[in-house]
Amino acid sequence: MRKKERYEKVIAWFQDNVPVAETELHYNNPYELLIAVILSAQCTDKRVNMITPPLYKDFPTPEALAATTPEVIFEYIRSVSYPNNKAKHLVGMAKMLVNDFNSQVPDNLEDLVKLPGVGRKTANVIQSVVFNKAAMAVDTHVFRVSHRIGLVPDSCTTPFSVEKELVKNIPEKLIPIAHHWLILHGRYVCQARTPKCDTCGLQMMCKYFCNTYKVTKEEPKAKNK
């Protein structure tokens, strides 16, 4: 299957079957989402959602978070991965928001990545989710699913190279939702160790499925009514 056709079929399937796709992190404003995304690095959204309510309540503004210490924040986030580093990042992030950005979350990559704890992936999540920009955040799910389906070639060995390939081939207006399509598909269907190929609706568009099960016809399996 040619690349253009694969993209068209995959996008059409998601549009038909997953018309609504959004972040599973809980938040009420850009500042809270920024906190949640920083905490979610190498940690599940479920865990992050468990610990953020008291954090949001006690530190409702960048000013409040900037005025505390990493040691205090550690007690709120101790159950996430790398709590010491993330506590320092959160306080540092808040201080920079207050001092450099008038307590507002920036809407562009260049400013976002200046914030402690914010890399390109986190910045792209904020741009996409908050500001609806055509930014493709590549986490482990997006990286894995993109390669398995065949949306990106094996030569794309870094998150940035995968990001560039996806952005080049997905219509700009669909990039924000496509980010969530790929994440959710990787989280619940195309899982790392045991992909659920038998129930996946993308079977006949998927390079991994066709290669693994020696499928030669581009025809979907008949489903029992």
Q: What is the mean pLDDT of the chain?
A: 93
Asked if residue 217 has pLDDT above 60, the reply is no
Cβ contact 177:157 at 8 Å: no
**Nearest C-alpha neighbor of 198 from the set 186, 185, 189, 207:** 189
Catalytic residue among 121, 196, 207, 223: 121
Q: Which of 100, 139, 173, 198 is catalytic?
A: 139
Domains of the chain (ranges; CATH) run 3-21+137-212 (1.10.1670.10), 30-131 (1.10.340.30)
Q: Known catalytic residue: 139?
A: yes
**How far is residue 143 from each of residues 30, 56, 91, 190, measured CA to CA in Å?**
25, 31, 30, 11
Q: What is the per-residue pLDDT across 132-179, written as a single tens digit (0 to 9) for each?
A: 999 999 999 999 999 999 999 999 999 999 999 999 999 999 999 999
Each residue's pLDDT tens digit, 113-129: 999 999 999 999 999 99
pTM of the model: 0.87
pLDDT band at 222; cut points 50, 70, 90:
very low
pLDDT tens digit sequence for 194-213:
999 999 999 999 999 999 88
Annotated catalytic residue 100: no
Q: Given pLDDT bands bounded at 50, 70 and 90, which one contains residue 214? A: confident
Residues annotated in a binding site for [4Fe-4S] cluster: 190, 197, 200, 206
* Average pLDDT, integer, range 214-225: 52
